[in-house]
Structure 1
Amino acid sequence: MTIQFSLASATPETDATPCAVVGVYEDKMLTSAAARIDEASGGAIKRLIDSGDISGKLASSHVLFGLGGIAAARVLVIGLGEQKKFDSARFQRCCAEAARVLKGLPLSTATSFLPQVEVPGRDLSWKLRIAALTTDHATYKYTATFKSKEKPRGESFSAIAFAGDAGAQSALDQAGAIAAGIRQARELGNLPPNICNPAYIAAQAQQFAEQHDGVSCEVLEREQMQELGMGSLLGVAQGSANPPKLIVLRWNGGGDARPYVLVGKGITFDTGGISLKPGPGMEEMKFDMCGAAGMFGTFVAASLLKLPLNLVCILAAVENMPDGNAYRPSDVLTSMSGLTIEVLNTDAEGRLILCDALTYAQRFNPQVLIDAATLTGACVIALGKHASGLMSKDDELAEQLLAAGNASLDRAWRLPIWDDYQSQLDSGFADVANIGGKNAGAITAACFLARFTEGQRWAHLDVAGTAWDEGRKGLATGRPVPLLVQYLLDRC
């Protein structure tokens, strides 16, 4: 369940909240909210700073109980670090630490005065939205496949009020819709592949369309894809007992305007096919559908926000499995575009489903075409877990997406997609090979997709490093939902 957001109207010392959240800098400088609580409580915070109990170090935390002179039952003091170094990223980190502490306390609601903190270059609306989204993200808990338990004693954290004026309500309304989209993406990503298969994603999309006015959903089955000539996508799917689905969601909020079209890679489990992946870490390949999950989440947020634009979201949902009917290295597939593809590695399957989905997307006459995919390990090597890879031949589109990433703190970094790299995809047996060798793997994957998007304003996001956290307990992150929703908001 998404955390409920609201605006606080009371002052820090008069707010009868179960917990008031304030900030303190490392140089013993109190924020205005902390200073008001300190004064009303007879200098309680300053005494703890002087004694060394509160350091003010970045993202440190200290819970104070039973302070006299104020209405709050508790005060959570968050360290803001050095005032001269405080910036957007540090603000987000402090909000995350506050949420981490709050969800462990026996309370259902709290009031945060952190949005009153000065963040260079950011206004109140930005601070409210980031604070709300960070709180929702930090308090998310995956429970779908655990044995149901009786709720423990105490209360579950479910709502937070933020200090702000009435004019900033729209920022919290935006945050609520975006949080719902991020949670949709995270939940799909976290579900195991025996539940979240192509049919499950299709059912979720159909259910969303049925429940929301202005949203429609069409699901293309294998037979329809065969009639369209999607030999590349179907080649990947032919080794799985779970049939593929091409899911098309539409939101019409922009009259007769050409739509923005989002395409997501939805490999619900990736064994690598005949080019079988190594066993260690293969369990993380349930996350190989996070590109589609992210596009679905973006669509959810955009339609809940009722954005005044037209949006088409295409989810290519397929499972890549090895069996007696699986496609092989050296097979030649014929794509929907007519281009033939030599398969050199069946573990480079994402681009094979995306190329047909991107070709199909062009029937909607998009003004912009964007795909997102957990496409290459090479992108993780290049950029790590912090930035998504962005590739586009359209400089204006690339700059708009980079700006949206910086504004939402869901950052991307642009990599080249020069024609110089295309020769690495040469094949002696087909129009193009599906891999370009070990060098520049993220770039050659995008170069492959570029052959199917000629004449389009197109951008590719490689989210292989950013869509989920590593490790056995790593969860889906919901990226690039914040980036893409910000991009769409900017277009409005």
Structure 2
Amino acid sequence: MEFSIKSGSPEKQRSACVVVGVFEPRKLTVPGEILNKASNQYISDLLRRGDLEGKSGTTLLLHNVPGTLCDRILLVGLGKEKEFREKEFRTAIATTIRTLNEIGAFDATITLTELAVKKCDLPWRIRQTVLIAAETLYRFDHYKSKKDEVRRPLRKLTLAVESRTDLAAAEKALEEGQAIVLGMNLCKDLGNLPGNVCTPGYLAEQALELAKTYPLKAEILEREDMEKLGMGSLLSVARGSHQPPKFIILRHDGGKNTAKPVVLVGKGITFDTGGISLKPGAEMDEMKYDMCGAASVLGTMKAIAQMGLKLNVVGIIPTTENMPGGNATRPGDIVTSMSGQTIEILNTDAEGRLILCDALTYAERFEPACVIDIATLTGACVIALGHVASGLLANDDTLARDLLNAGQNAYDRAWQLPLWEDYQEQLKSPFADMANIGGRAAGTITAASFLARFTKKFHWAHLDIAGTAWKSGEKKGATGRPVPLLTHFLMARARSRGE
């Protein structure tokens, strides 16, 4: 998709289609009024006849409108003007892109980016339009012998701004949006790949490929390296798999040499059977998505590298399969983590925390400004928050607030849960320093409480994306979340530090 920014009167746009909005009941937006005046009230006459009321998600395509230079005008319903907020704006853009792609409009000019959205500025509208366009048109059909091809797919989109003074800010937002799309698409592609393709070795190859394409530095630790480092917790998960585990380090040195980096840690279980604590068979195919934390780290690193973000960021990905087998870890086994703390493994399906805890200990060597881990960690998070918000827990309130704000700005939202010391009681073990599960109650919180034991030396936040990393059912597939949240967080951090 080719994007451009333009300021100009809508009736003078020479494109296959100009898109304008209509609020309920039958109220044209300012660009729509301009087109209506140029057409000698042609559009308002149609609206008065009841052809379009303005209900959200509805459209009306007009051909050969007098007084205009475009081939067609697409009217898009926006709902009630007083209720027009982020969700309604996103719905209008998605409806627009879907309709344009279906009608064979090779190029189009969207005036919806000029609309006022409460608490959202022009850069937000531009970024969101780019992200929603990419999301609407995204397809993963790599393995289909016959692909569903659109006859004349949408190729070029011009985003309208009210004034020429807005062009610079809009152009910058456009570049940011396109960079985030690159990261999200990588995240989605990796998540959607089958487990027999997207192995730990494949993830390592992707990191090395990113380092060849962008000014990133990649390092891959093998099993022997992990053994020397004492990563007994991580390696206990890998014991049942024939696929060798990998430990990926990817560095973006965009900030000052003396600046401490932000460290992102992504859970990379490329397939999760549950191990000896075997999962039920229903929907187990979706456990290929258990590496979406890792995919989001790779996607975020690609996005910030594309932007040339002036910030030091380190991505860490512990990756392995979790498989049953004669050599697999058993419930009741006790392992020693890299930190020296011992863990009684009561359930081998609580494996994400076992690989993350060693990665969090490894992160100490970077003397980080803060550490954020991202993981499809608990089914309990899906029960608590559904598929709308990611779970957020942190040992630092400022870091949590910054992440919540970034999620709100990106419309990739999170919700904070408590991380009180009281929950640590559930992790007590009579035989080791801790158990790897704390029972059914507060499962998301006790999982984070487990990780908190390995984060005493830095500011840390945990994002549980079990409910947001992918969709099930008819629209099954990876979502690319939380790449937007993480990217907005890093962008804001770079701005605040003036790096």
The TM-score range, normalised by the shorter chain, is over 0.9
Structure 1 Cα separation of the partners of residues 325 and 390 of structure 2: 33
Residue deviations 1:57-107 (CA, integer Å, cap 9, x gap): 112222222222211112221111111111122111211111121222213
- Find the counterpart in structure 1 of residue 68 from structure 2: 70
Q: Partner amino acid for 1:160? A: L
1:207 to 206, 209, 214: 209
| 3-state SS in 1 of match to 2:335 | strand
- Find the counterpart in structure 1 of residue 470 from structure 2: 468
- Find the counterpart in structure 2 of residue 398 from structure 1: 400
Structure 1 Cα separation of the partners of residues 181 and 455 of structure 2: 31
Residue deviations 1:29-73 (CA, integer Å, cap 9, x gap): 210111112222232322232222212111222222222221111
Using the TM superposition, give the Cα deviation of residue 150 of structure 1 relative to its aligned residue in structure 2, in angstroms: 9.2
Residue deviations 1:136-174 (CA, integer Å, cap 9, x gap): 11111112111155956x322233110023222111011
- Find the counterpart in structure 2 of residue 225 from structure 1: 226
Residue deviations 1:446-471 (CA, integer Å, cap 9, x gap): 00000011121000000000111122
| 3-state SS in 2 of match to 1:104 | helix
Q: Partner amino acid for 1:161? A: T
Q: Does 1:179 align with 2:181?
A: yes
Comparing 412-421 with 111-120, which one deviates more in the overlay? 111-120
What is the number of equivalent residue pairs in this alignment?
488
Question: Structure 1 39/207 Cα, relative in aligned 2: closer, same or farther at 3 Å?
Answer: same
- Find the counterpart in structure 2 of residue 319 from structure 1: 321
| 3-state SS in 2 of match to 1:326 | coil
Percent identity, aligned pairs only?
Answer: 51
User: After superposition, where does 1:308-457 map in structure 2 within 5 Å?
Assistant: 308-457=310-459
TM-score, with structure 2 as normaliser: 0.96
- Find the counterpart in structure 2 of residue 300 from structure 1: 302
Using the TM superposition, give the Cα deviation of residue 430 of structure 1 relative to its aligned residue in structure 2, in angstroms: 0.9
| 3-state SS in 2 of match to 1:319 | strand
Q: Partner amino acid for 2:242? A: A
Q: Does 1:30 align with 2:31?
A: no
Q: Partner amino acid for 1:446? A: A
Using the TM superposition, give the Cα deviation of residue 109 of structure 1 relative to its aligned residue in structure 2, in angstroms: 2.1
Using the TM superposition, give the Cα deviation of residue 377 of structure 1 relative to its aligned residue in structure 2, in angstroms: 0.5
- Does the 8 A contact of 1:26 with 1:79 survive in 2? yes
Using the TM superposition, give the Cα deviation of residue 28 of structure 1 relative to its aligned residue in structure 2, in angstroms: 2.0
Q: Partner amino acid for 1:235? A: S
| 3-state SS in 1 of match to 2:343 | strand
- Does the 8 A contact of 1:27 with 1:56 survive in 2? yes
Using the TM superposition, give the Cα deviation of residue 262 of structure 1 relative to its aligned residue in structure 2, in angstroms: 0.2
Residue deviations 1:424-447 (CA, integer Å, cap 9, x gap): 000111111010000000000000
- Find the counterpart in structure 1 of residue 497 from structure 2: none
User: After superposition, where does 1:33-72 map in structure 2 within 5 Å?
Assistant: 33-72=31-70
| 3-state SS in 2 of match to 1:25 | strand
Q: Partner amino acid for 2:398? A: E
- Does the 8 A contact of 1:16 with 1:71 survive in 2? yes
- Does the 8 A contact of 1:4 with 1:176 survive in 2? no
Residue deviations 1:226-275 (CA, integer Å, cap 9, x gap): 11111111110111111111111001011221100000001111111111
* Superposition CA RMSD, Å: 1.3
Structure 2 Cα separation of the partners of residues 312 and 181 of structure 1: 16
Structure 1 Cα separation of the partners of residues 46 and 264 of structure 2: 52
Structure 2 Cα separation of the partners of residues 44 and 464 of structure 1: 51
- Find the counterpart in structure 2 of residue 276 from structure 1: 278
Residue deviations 1:159-215 (CA, integer Å, cap 9, x gap): 311002322211101111111111111111111111111111111110110111x21
Structure 2 Cα separation of the partners of residues 207 and 489 of structure 1: 24
Q: Partner amino acid for 2:154? A: F
Comparing 261-270 with 463-472, which one deviates more in the overlay? 463-472
Gaps of 5+ in 2: 495-499
1:160 to 151, 157, 166: 157
Structure 2 Cα separation of the partners of residues 55 and 286 of structure 1: 44
Q: Partner amino acid for 1:97? A: T
- Find the counterpart in structure 1 of residue 114 from structure 2: 116
Q: Does 1:100 align with 2:61?
A: no
Comparing 20-29 with 456-465, which one deviates more in the overlay? 20-29
Q: Partner amino acid for 1:413? A: W
Structure 2 Cα separation of the partners of residues 76 and 318 of structure 1: 49
Using the TM superposition, give the Cα deviation of residue 16 of structure 1 relative to its aligned residue in structure 2, in angstroms: 1.1
Question: Structure 1 151/406 Cα, relative in aligned 2: closer, same or farther at 3 Å?
Answer: closer
| 3-state SS in 2 of match to 1:217 | strand
| 3-state SS in 2 of match to 1:138 | helix
| 3-state SS in 2 of match to 1:80 | strand
Residue deviations 1:349-404 (CA, integer Å, cap 9, x gap): 10011001111111111101000000000001000010000000211111111011
Q: Partner amino acid for 1:135? A: A
- Find the counterpart in structure 1 of residue 250 from structure 2: 249
- Find the counterpart in structure 2 of residue 234 from structure 1: 235
| 3-state SS in 1 of match to 2:103 | coil
Question: Structure 1 149/487 Cα, relative in aligned 2: closer, same or farther at 3 Å?
Answer: closer
Gaps of 5+ in 1: none
Structure 2 Cα separation of the partners of residues 68 and 80 of structure 1: 24
Structure 1 Cα separation of the partners of residues 238 and 9 of structure 2: 59
Using the TM superposition, give the Cα deviation of residue 473 of structure 1 relative to its aligned residue in structure 2, in angstroms: 4.1
Using the TM superposition, give the Cα deviation of residue 125 of structure 1 relative to its aligned residue in structure 2, in angstroms: 1.4
Using the TM superposition, give the Cα deviation of residue 329 of structure 1 relative to its aligned residue in structure 2, in angstroms: 0.6
1:81 to 73, 79, 82: 79
Using the TM superposition, give the Cα deviation of residue 11 of structure 1 relative to its aligned residue in structure 2, in angstroms: 2.0
- Does the 8 A contact of 1:330 with 1:344 survive in 2? yes
Structure 1 Cα separation of the partners of residues 431 and 61 of structure 2: 67
